[in-house]
Amino acid sequence: MDRGLSRAQGLDIGPTIELLWWEGCPSTERAVTDLRGALDDLGLPGEIAMREIRTDEEAQAAAFAGSPTILIDGVELMEALGRGADDEPAGLNCRVYVRRDGRMSPTPDPEDLREALRGARS
Amino acid sequence: MSVAIGEHAPDFTLPDTDGEGWSLAGDGSEATVLVFTCNHCPYALAWHDRILDAARDYAESDVRFLAINANDAERYPRDSYEAMQGRVAREDWPIPYLHDPTQQVALAYGAKTTPDVFLIDAEGRLRYRGAPDSDYDDPEQRAAWLREALDAVLAGREPERPETTPVGCSIKWKR
């Protein structure tokens, strides 16, 4: 699908979502499930483009701060939420997210996903 | 290398964050829980408080908990010995945090992830190995699988669930 053409034609194709993942971290499936759930909750169309990061070199080139890293319309999730750029060093890692109740987690808080996706629509 | 349920667990001596050496053998505890963990893994962090709560709860039963970090600090500086010392200084750790810089202990046990939990009885035999409980994302689980196994061992019974699949970040082996 030509997303630019679709947008120009006024078609609702939803936000562009890219999920960067590394096989050494088992959180990918959960992250995808949560992302699809957030899209469904908001009634948004949207495809999740999966991009595997395999090497330290690829991690450096992609500024990959750990698996999963989620880009919405090209903006990293935490930046999209206005929580600043990630200070995690790039590398093959599992990423640490902080849930809204303060707990550490391998996946983002689902409410953070919904907030970022809502922001991408506005 | 790895150790199977019922087999004698390999002895070791590793330094804690104060440089004091800790060994598996000769302690006289009713049981010892080894937790392979680290500083940066979200699974280890998610389960951390539950494991420390279990350590506090079972201290009166003469159960000893030892946390072990074996990750390659060269590629993962946040898992360095200095980072371990800083973390223990900042946080309330009721258990020693041991450093396995050669990774020989992790290899001997066949540890795979952080966390990866090994319960060893007073005779030095492995009685449980795996995850603390079924869901890193649910604090109400309270390390239930580990507690079940501990209760069984302390009561002189076989754990009903002696082995579960460890879940977490892969241990960062040296290349």
CATH of the domain at B62: 3.40.30.10
DSSP chain B: ----TTSBPPP-EEE-TTS-EEESTT---SEEEEEE--SS-HHHHHHHHHHHHHHHHHGGGTEEEEEEE---TTT-GGGSHHHHHHHHHHS--SS-EEE-TT-HHHHHHT--EESEEEEEETTSBEEEEE-SSS-TT-GGGTTHHHHHHHHHHHTT---SS-B----SEEP----
Q: Which domains does chain A have, with CATH numbers?
A: 15-121 (3.40.30.10)
Task: Provide the chain B residues 74-133 that lie in CB contact (below 8 A) with chain A.
Answer: 75-77
Give the distance, in angstroms, between the CA of residue B45 and the centroid of all CA atoms in the same chain: 13
Taking CB atoms and an 8 Å limit, are A26 and B168 in contact across chains?
yes
Q: Would B88 be classed as within a structural domain?
A: yes
Give the closest of A56, A89, A104 to B42, CB-based.
A104
Report the gap between the CA of A43 and the closest CA in chain B (Å).
Answer: 26
Structural domain of B55: 13-167
B169 touches chain A (CB under 8 A): yes
In the beta sheet, which residues pair with residue B163?
B129
A34 touches chain B (CB under 8 A): no
Instruction: State the pLDDT at residue A90.
Output: 86
Per CB-CB distance under 8 Å, the chain A contacts of B43 are 94, 106
Q: Are B128 and B160 in contact (CB under 8 A)?
A: no
With bands split at pLDDT 50, 70 and 90, how would you rate the model's confidence at A82? confident
Tokens of B75: 């590629």
Report the gap between the CA of B175 and the closest CA in chain A (Å).
Answer: 13
Q: Would B109 be classed as within a structural domain?
A: yes
Q: Would B154 be classed as within a structural domain?
A: yes
Whether B150 has a pLDDT exceeding 80, the answer reads yes
Number of domains in chain B: 1
Q: Would B174 be classed as within a structural domain?
A: no
Predicted structure pTM score: 0.91
Give the closest of B40, B137, B167 to A26, CB-based.
B167
Query: Three-state SS for A107?
Result: coil
Nearest CA in chain A to B135: A105
Taking CB atoms and an 8 Å limit, are B41 and A94 in contact across chains?
yes
Query: Three-state SS for A25?
Result: coil
Instruction: State the pLDDT at residue A84.
Output: 67
Q: Would B100 be classed as within a structural domain?
A: yes
Whether B10 has a pLDDT exceeding 80, the answer reads yes
* pLDDT tens per residue, range B46-67: 999 999 999 999 999 999 999 9
Burial of B100 (0-12, 13-18, 19+ CB in 10 A): buried
Per DSSP, A91 falls in state: S
Per CB-CB distance under 8 Å, the chain B contacts of A56 are 75
Q: Would B173 be classed as within a structural domain?
A: no
> In chain B, pLDDT over 70 holds for what percent of residues?
99
A45 touches chain B (CB under 8 A): no
Tokens of A6: 């679709």
With bands split at pLDDT 50, 70 and 90, how would you rate the model's confidence at B26? confident
